[in-house]
Amino acid sequence: MIQPKAVVLLSGGMDSATTAAIALDAGFEVHALSFRYGQRHAAELAAARRVAGSLAICDHVVLDVDLRTIGGSALTDDLPVPKDTPLSRIGDRIPATYVPARNTIFLSLALGLAERLQAFDLFIGANAMDYSGYPDCRPEYFEAFARMAALATRAGVEDGRRFTIHTPLISLSKREIIERGMALGVDYSITLTCYDPTADGVACGHCEACLLRLKGFREAGLEDPAVYDGLGSERKRHPGE
Amino acid sequence: MIQPKAVVLLSGGMDSATTAAIALDAGFEVHALSFRYGQRHAAELAAARRVAGSLAICDHVVLDVDLRTIGGSALTDDLPVPKDTPLSRIGDRIPATYVPARNTIFLSLALGLAERLQAFDLFIGANAMDYSGYPDCRPEYFEAFARMAALATRAGVEDGRRFTIHTPLISLSKREIIERGMALGVDYSITLTCYDPTADGVACGHCEACLLRLKGFREAGLEDPAVYDGLGSERKRHPGE
C-alpha cells in the first residue's frame, strides 16, 4: 500500500510539533510547511527546523510570504505584545497578536503544495484555547475552507477528490495536548511557543502563548523543559546548540 | 457618505485592468494588490505598475509570496508555455500555466489586506473564457470562498460583516471585456496579458493568453494597441518608455 501524503503546518511551537507527531503516528508521509512571513523573530523558524529535524518527516518546505505588507498584528509590526494577561481573560476577545486572515493564507499555501504533491490531507494545530479568540481557529471555519478547497483545485474538480483539513488538537486543552505529545515522544524542549522571544530565541514567559503553555504543563504535573528568560543561564540554551 | 474601500487584484493584464476600472466606476476607493510570486518575467509587475499609475486608485500594494517553492506551473517553473493552441481547444482542459491554488492564495492575501483596511469588497478579473479550464475561476468557487471568508475574519465573526468577491468579468467574452474597458477609458496599450513575454516585456502573440486577447480585439473590430513580438521595432516599446 502506498503511504498517503500529508502537508502539516509547522510553526515550531508545541501545538504544531504535536500535530506533526500525530500525523506521523497516523501513518502519513509528512511534508512539513513553515513560513518566513516577516515574523519579528527568526527564532520561530529556527524552532521549526529543530522540530522538523527531530521527527521522521519526509521533507520541510520553508515558503516566503511577506505578511508585513498586510500589517495589523503585533507578530509582524512593531506593536506591543500583551504581557501577563490574567489567565481567566485570555481568549475572551481577538488578541493583538491576531494576523489578519493568517490561517486562511497559510492553509491556501498548504493547499497549493498539497495539490502539487497529490496530497489530500492537511494538518493544522489549531486548538480549543485559541478558537474563542481567533475566528480562523473554529471548526466551522475549517469546514468552510475544506468545501472551498474542493472547488478550487484540479484534483477536486477533475477527480472529485476532497481535501481533509485535520485539526487533531481542536478540542484538546493545553494539558491534553502535552499529554498526547509526551506519549508520542515529542521533545518539547526544542519547541518555541512564545510570541515575544529574546533575540537568542528564549521564550519570555509572560505573553499569552507562554502563559497558556506553562499552565498546561502545570496541569499535566510536568515541568516545561523549554528555556524561559530569567530562569538562570544554565537553561538559556537549547540542547545541542 | 464615506467612500467604500475595495481591494482589487491587479496583474497588469487586460482583465485585471478592466476590473480595476469597473471598481472605480462603481464608486469604490480602490486599493490595488499585485504579487511578486516568482513569475518568470518581471514584465508582469512592470505592467501592473503602469496600469496602477494610469488609474485613479488610492494605492498599489506589491506583496512578496514565493510560489516557486510550491512549483508545478509553467508560469513559475522552467516548463514550456503552450504555443499556437487551436482556439477551439483552449479551455477544454486545465492548462500547463495553471498555478496550484493560485486564486485561493491571492484571494486569501487580498482578504488579509481587506481585513486590515476594513474593506469588504474584493475584485478579481476571472472570466468566462478561463473558467472552463481553471477550477478556481468558476462562480461556485468564488461563492465558497466568500462563505469561508465570513467565518475566517474578525469583521465576519465580531460584526457579522460579509465579504463580497466581485467577479464583474465572469460571464463576459474577451470581446465584451474589451468593449466594457474601452467605454471606461482603459488604456490597453500598457497592459500585458502574455504568459511568455520577451525579456523586454513584449508579448509573444502565440501563447493561449495572447491568442484569446487577439481574438477578442478582432471580434470587437479593433486593433490591439499592445506591443507584440515580431510586429516591427516601432511597436516594440511601450508608450512613454
On whether residue A129 sits in a domain, the answer given is: yes
On whether residue A89 sits in a domain, the answer given is: no
What is the CATH number for B13? 3.40.50.620
On whether residue A107 sits in a domain, the answer given is: yes
Q: Which residue in B70, B102, B111 is closest to A101 by CB distance?
A: B111
Q: Which of residues 23-62 of B touch A (CB under 8 A)?
A: 61-62
CB distance A105–B94 less than 8 Å? no
Q: Which of residues 117-136 of B touch A (CB under 8 A)?
A: 135-136
Q: Which residue in A72, A109, A113 is closest to B116 by CB distance?
A: A72
Amino acid at A32: A
On whether residue A197 sits in a domain, the answer given is: no
What are the tens digits of pLDDT across the range B26-69? 999 999 999 999 887 788 899 999 999 999 999 999 999 999 88
On whether residue A218 sits in a domain, the answer given is: no
On whether residue A128 sits in a domain, the answer given is: yes
Name the grid cell of B52: 496602477
User: H-helix or E-strand containing A5?
Assistant: strand A5-9
Q: Are A128 and A122 within 8 A, CB to CB? A: no
On whether residue B241 sits in a domain, the answer given is: no
What are the tens digits of pLDDT across the range A158-183? 777 889 999 999 999 999 999 999 99
Chain A residues close to B116, C-beta within 8 Å: 70-72, 100
Question: Is A111 in the B-facing interface, judged by CB distances under 8 Å?
Answer: yes
On whether residue B240 sits in a domain, the answer given is: no
CB distance B94–A135 less than 8 Å? no
Number of domains in chain A: 1
Q: Which domain holds residue A63?
A: 5-80+99-187
CB distance A116–B69 less than 8 Å? no
| Residue of A9, A35, A61, A64 best to disrupt the B interface, most CBs of B under 10 A | A64
Q: What is the ipTM of this complex?
A: 0.88
What are the tens digits of pLDDT across the range A16-71? 999 999 999 999 999 999 999 988 778 889 999 999 999 999 999 999 999 988 87
Among all chains, which residue has been given the C-alpha cell 465579504? B163
